[in-house]
Amino acid sequence: MKLTGSIFGTTYVVIYSGDVNFKDELKGLFSAINKSLSTYQTNSDISKINRNESFAVDSHFINVYNASKEIYGKTQGAFDPTIGNVVNAWNFGSKSIVKEVDSLKIDSLMQYVGYYKTYIKNDSLVKSDPHVYLEFNAIAKGYAVDVIGEFLESKNINNYLVEIGGEIRVKGINTEKNSNWKVGLEAPNFQGEQAILKSISLQDGSMATSGTYRKFKIDTDGNRYSHIIDTQTGYPSKTNLLSISVITDKCIDADAYATAFKCMGIEKIKLFLKLHPELKVYLIFENEMQELETLALNGFPV
């Protein structure tokens, strides 16, 4: 069975071994997640929270909030869902140069950044300042992938692939081909063309990829800055990293770590991974000669 469609501003593909069509159930799950986490819906839980309306949040919100809190702590704030207003201020949809952004505006927004300025009490979110703005766009797709995977498993489906906007979770095998699931790693391309760099075999795990080659700004010296904002400074990270793929058990974790690693840099990533063998990582980056190089860490399948 293969189900496809659009969700979260992107597309999804769900393939599983079975003859029951779960399209309606998937729509219901997607709707519930959007109602909880979408900043694009004015009546969602997270939009109400950003307007400082007080109410009991649902289990989806609590699950994502707690996972974000854990990864915020482990990455020492490199992953921080309160950075959203600063990201929006940089307006990476237009390829203007870095210096055109008003530094006073960034400084004023940064005083409200910090995940520690929020907490859950009696199933409600509390903010230490009403200006704190939350968004889970860097983790919600991964969470939704897990939700769909866990739903399929609850229906005793043990061979499946779930993919939403490039974030993937698989279990078992591709029964049609009687082989492990094959997933592609995209080759970085600044012109927007899509091509597969390589394919890998994935079994009973999740993979998320985060790239810097589609949204970036260039300064007057020609340095390229990624759309990932340094959560400590509020400014884009100057980086030679073009793509980061993370494999681990849950897609929610892979999604968040792929984002966090973009503002950590290669050496910090290496140090971090020595303490986290559960994360397999594949980096694509430019060397000093502006040539593409790759680096597989912690046993990422190559």
Residue 290: inside a domain: yes
- In this prediction, residue 226 carries a pLDDT of 57
Residue 137: inside a domain: no
d(CA 127, CA 134): 10
| Cα separations in angstroms, 135 against 30, 158, 199 | 17, 32, 32
Residue 221: inside a domain: yes
Give the angle 146-66-170 at the CA atoms, nearest 5°: 15
- In this prediction, residue 188 carries a pLDDT of 75
d(CA 264, CA 273): 12
d(CA 119, CA 65): 9
d(CA 251, CA 171): 12
Q: What are phi and psi of 209, to 5 degrees?
A: -125, 135
Domain count, the chain: 1
For residues 206 and 291, the model is more confident at 206
**Contacts of 109 by beta carbon, 8 Å cutoff, 6+ apart:** 85, 86, 89, 234
- In this prediction, residue 302 carries a pLDDT of 84
Confidence of residue 97 (pLDDT cuts 50, 70, 90): very low
- In this prediction, residue 224 carries a pLDDT of 58
- Percent of the chain's residues with pLDDT above 70: 88
d(CA 267, CA 150): 35
- For 255-289, the pLDDT digits (tens) are 999 999 988 889 999 999 999 999 999 999 988 88
pLDDT of 215 higher than 70: no
d(CA 76, CA 167): 24
Q: Which of the residue ranges 96-100, 133-137, 204-208 would you say has the lowest mean pLDDT?
A: 96-100
Looking at the chain, which runs of residues are DSSP E strands? 2-7, 10-16, 118-121, 124-127, 160-164, 167-171, 181-186, 196-202, 205-211, 216-218, 224-229, 236-238, 241-248, 280-286, 292-297
d(CA 142, CA 213): 20
- In this prediction, residue 141 carries a pLDDT of 97
- Percent of the chain's residues with pLDDT above 90: 71
Residue 98: inside a domain: no
- The mean per-residue pLDDT over the stretch 43-54 comes to 94
Residue 80: inside a domain: no
pLDDT of 94 higher than 50: no
Is there a contact between 183 and 192 (Cβ–Cβ < 8 Å)? no
Residue 127: inside a domain: no
- In this prediction, residue 177 carries a pLDDT of 93
* Mean pLDDT across the chain: 89
CA proximity to 243, closest of 187, 196, 203: 187
Q: Hey, which of 146-160, 204-218, 258-272 has the most confident mean pLDDT?
A: 146-160
The domain that holds 231 is classified in CATH as: 3.10.520.10
Q: CA 24: distance to chain centroid?
A: 25
- In this prediction, residue 291 carries a pLDDT of 87
d(CA 64, CA 136): 8
Residue 211's domain spans which residues? 178-297
Residue 53 three-state SS: coil
- For 227-254, the pLDDT digits (tens) are 667 888 898 777 788 899 999 999 999 9
Confidence of residue 96 (pLDDT cuts 50, 70, 90): very low
Confidence of residue 134 (pLDDT cuts 50, 70, 90): very high
